[in-house]
A and B are shown apart, each in its own frame.
Chain A
Amino acid sequence: MPDASPKISARNVSKYFETAHGTGVALQDFDLEVRAGEFVCIVGPSGCGKSTFLRILAGLTPHSAGTVAIAPGAPGKPLNSVVFQEYAIFPWKTVLDNVAFGLQMRGVGKKERYEVARQWLARVGLAKFENYYPAQLSGGMKQRVAIARALANDPEVLLMDEPLGALDAQTKTVLQGELMRIWEEHRKTVVYVTHSIDEAVLLADRVVIMTAHPGTNKTEFEVDLPRPRTVATTATPEFAAMTGLVWQALEDEVRKAMADQ
């Protein structure tokens, strides 16, 4: 059911911040439109403001100029849920209570929210761990909990801020595969911030490239690799060609960002 009107529309979004030395720019006139059910990855050099933009989308940080809108769906349904880089699952809640958290905040009864939470835990392969506390889990398991928490909340859009950034390479690969599998079942609208080109090309329908600081739109690529994609997708020549293209567009910006530091 592709919709004509975009699920997310952000126009000329800028973010300024005051410092002792004057006004800084974190984000300059950034545009993004995301269709319903689209998986968009934002890639940019570090410090370009891609995480800032995601936080603006999430409503966690106010923007200084421009417009940001997420089209509402059914009444009572949350507009967005964030998967944070540092997991941010609550250490004082069990895995089950963490996953049920969003529903609990919206006043969903215990029985119902646990039922939903258990379904999502089963999907991310953590059914046996529902009574564990996060401290008893590995990094990869914690991030699975964070993803399940966001999905159980059933938001209009899912916002992911380098969710696999803190994981080791092997765990990351496994989780990318799982993320693909889960997403292809549900096709939720996703905005995914990452600095990994491979990850962006593997996951996304569209890769949006940002310039170095202050970040704004550089260019973007439709990724038409066939779905379902798996880790095996990364071994195809089409994948290599795509990542090559993205890197070409990004390289200058990365060098600029490095020279700035």
Chain B
Amino acid sequence: MSLPAWLVWLLTLAVVGLFVYAADRFGKRVPVKRQPLYNRLLAIGFPLLLLVAWELLVNWGYLNGRWFPPPTRIAAALWDLIVSFDRFNKTSLLGRPWLIPSVLPEQGWRGAWGLVTESHVLATLFRVALGFVIGAAPGVLVGMAMGLNKTIRQMLDPIMSAIYVLPKIAIFPLMMLIFANPFGEGPKVAVIAITAFFLIAINTMAGVRGIEPVYLEAGRNFGAGRWQMLWHVIVPAALPIIFSGLRIALGSALIVIVAVEFIRAQQGVGYLVFYYWQVLAIDKMYASLFVVMLLGVGLTWLLQWIERRVMPWRR
């Protein structure tokens, strides 16, 4: 290829622009009944187009494949990550679940558990899930107490607000100091728990304080006692804001866990990204990033699913 690079980039932009224009024009003629299908097609089609452009630009030599490996190579690297076992580290991406049928009869549950513990994805999931639960439960309780009781709120608010703005990754060294084994799971889970705790406590407090007074009055007028009030009025009325706290906390927990695994881990998706940067296996680094992304999407989806189950009245 002998076209100047700037021309190719300009052409690429033009093609993408033309595609957007054509799709917009075409979209106005799509019958209303087919609109949802068309919208879905756009949502899938446009990213696909970008991937194809990426692939071609690398193949034609206009984009450096070393730093931006084409999607097909990333896919291949991802496949490699899934099926391979790191003998040195004794880890694999997913824990090689296809080995379970052969391992189970030979080594029993112990062998199957060994497979589970070798997984990067499950290691990260374990840290996030455990830390999240440990932080969220007291977070909701403290937030409730702060929302309901003025004295508690006045006393705790300055502390909470101060720690709230502290990036939680900054206390990871402290956590390593506190726990007997700085390399173990303790400090990692703890830092996630603390991240979740403050975000959830602050949001729960906001949720409780934001309850329309008329609901509390209606509860009282219809004879709700202290606990009935909590269960039938206060908790459900605050739930939407509590859940937005959970969503923010989940996002922050993912940032923190990846950072923690960059610094100090032998396992986990953050570790993978960092490790493949260190050994300059860039396509595997991209594949690991893709896994981190999927993890975020999966967890967010799970939280939304729970939200729909817990609050069926919200549509």
Q: How far apart are A143's CB and chain B's nearest CB, in angstroms?
A: 13
Please give, as numbers and ranges, the residues of chain B lying within 8 Å of A59 by CB-CB distance.
221
Bound: A136/B217 CA distance, A: 23
Asked, given contacts A78-B223, A92-B239, whether A135 binds B313 with beta carbons under 8 Å apart, the answer is yes
Q: Would you call A82 an interface residue if the criterion is a C-beta within 8 Å of the partner chain's C-beta atoms?
A: yes
Q: Would A133 and B313 count as touching, CB distance under 8 A?
A: yes
Write the nearest CB–CB distance from A72 to chain B, whole angstroms.
Answer: 14
Selected interface stretch from A83-91, A188-196, A240-248: A83-91
- Would A88 and B311 be within 8 Å (CB), given that A102-B223, A105-B222 are in contact? no
Residues of B194-249 contacting chain A, CB below 8 A? 212, 214-215, 217-218, 220-225, 228, 232-233, 236-237, 239
With both chains docked as a complex, state the minimum distance between the C-beta of A238 and any C-beta of chain B, in angstroms: 36
A88, B236: Cβ atoms closer than 8 Å: no
B313 touches A91 (CB 8 A): yes
**Contact partners of B214 in chain A: CB under 8 A:** 84, 86, 88
Q: A88-B214, A92-B237, A92-B313 are in contact. Are A81 and B221 (CB under 8 A)?
A: yes
What 0/1 pattern do residues 299 to 311 of B give for CB contact below 8 A with A? 0000000000001
Q: Check B28 for interface membership: any CB of A closer than 8 A.
A: no
Contact B221 A80 (CB under 8 A): yes
Q: Which of A122-169 contact B (CB under 8 A)?
A: 133-136, 149, 153
Chain A residues near B311 (CB, 8 Å)? Answer: 92
Q: Which one of B217, B228, B239 contacts A88 once the chains associate, using CB atoms below 8 Å?
A: B217
Closest B residue by C-beta to A102: B222
Q: How far is the CA of A81 from the CA of B219 in the complex (A)?
A: 11
In the complex, how many residues of chain B place their beta carbon closer than 8 angstroms to a beta carbon of chain A? Answer: 22
CA A6 – CA B27 in complex, angstroms? 71
7 contacts between A and B (CB under 8 A): A80-B221, A82-B221, A86-B214, A88-B217, A88-B218, A90-B236, A134-B313
Q: Could you tell me which residues of chain A, from 72 to 116, have a CB within 8 Å of some CB in chain B?
A: 78, 80-82, 84, 86, 88-93, 101-102, 104-106
Pick the contact of A149: B212, B222, B224, B225 (CB < 8 A).
B222
Per-residue interface assignment for chain A, residues 28 to 53, with 1 indicating a CB less than 8 Å from any chain B CB and 0 otherwise: 00000000000000000000000000
Q: Are B313 and A101 in contact (CB-based, < 8 A)?
A: no
| Known A86-B214, A92-B236, A102-B223; 18 more pairs at CB < 8 Å | A59-B221, A60-B221, A78-B222, A78-B223, A82-B217, A82-B218, A82-B221, A84-B218, A88-B214, A88-B218, A90-B233, A92-B239, A92-B313, A93-B232, A102-B222, A105-B228, A105-B232, A135-B315
Contact: A105 with B225, CB < 8 Å?
yes
Q: Which 9 A-B pairs have the closest CB atoms?
A: A92-B236, A133-B313, A102-B222, A88-B218, A105-B223, A88-B214, A82-B221, A105-B224, A92-B313
- Cα of A133 to Cα of B233 in the assembled complex, Å: 15
- Chain A residues with CB under 8 A of B239: 92
Set of chain B residues within 8 Å of A134, measured between Cβ atoms: 313
CB distance from A160 to the nearest CB of B (A): 12
Q: How far is the CB of B201 from chain A (nearest CB, A)?
A: 22
Q: Mark B108-143, 1 if CB is under 8 A from A, else 0.
A: 000000000000000000000000000000000000
Task: Give the size of the chain A interface in residues (CB under 8 angstroms).
Answer: 26
Interface residues of chain B, those whose CB is within 8 Å of chain A, are 212, 214-215, 217-218, 220-225, 228, 232-233, 236-237, 239, 311-315
Say how far B210's CB is from chain A's closest CB, in angstroms.
14
Report how far A101 CA is from B233 CA in the complex, Å: 11
Cβ contacts under 8 Å, A92 to chain B: 236-237, 239, 311, 313
**Cβ of A88: which chain B residues have Cβ within 8 Å of it?**
212, 214-215, 217-218
A84 near B313: Cβ-Cβ < 8 Å: no
The yes or no answer to A58 lying at the interface (CB within 8 A) is yes
Point out the residues of chain B lying under 8 angstroms from A82, CB to CB: 217-218, 221
Q: Is the CB of A153 within 8 A of B315?
A: no
With A86-B214, A90-B233 as known contacts, state yes or no: A81 contacts B315, CB within 8 Å: no
Tell me the bound Cα distance from A134 to B212 in angstroms: 16
**Whole-angstrom distance from the CB of A59 to the nearest CB of chain B?**
8
Residues of A within 8 A of B212 (CB): 86, 88
CA distance A149 to B232 in the complex (A): 15
Known: A88-B217, A105-B228. A81 touches B222 (CB 8 A): yes
Contact A106 B223 (CB under 8 A): yes
Q: How far is the CA of A149 from the CA of B224 in the complex (A)?
A: 14
Q: Are A153 and B222 neighbours in the complex by a CB distance under 8 Å?
A: yes
Q: Which one of A82, A88, A93, A135 has the highest number of Cβ atoms from chain B below 10 Å of its Cβ? A: A88
Interface pair A84/B222, CB less than 8 Å apart: no
Q: Which among A80, A81, A92 has the highest number of chain B CB atoms within 10 Å? A: A92
* Closest beta carbon of chain B to A58's beta carbon, Å: 6
CA distance A88 to B221 in the complex (A): 11
CB distance from A116 to the nearest CB of B (A): 14
Residues from chain A with Cβ under 8 Å of B217 in the complex = 60, 82, 84, 88
Q: Do A60 and B313 contact each other (CB < 8 Å), given the known contacts A92-B236, A101-B232, A105-B225?
A: no
- B56 nearest CB across to chain A (Å): 49
Pair B232/A133 contact, Cβ less than 8 Å? no
**Shortest Cβ distance from B235 into A: residue:** A92
Residues of B within 8 A of A93 (CB): 232, 236, 313
Point out the residues of chain B lying under 8 angstroms from A80, CB to CB: 221
How far is A92 from B236 in the complex, measured between Cα atoms in Å? Answer: 6
Q: Are B215 and A90 in contact (CB under 8 A)?
A: yes
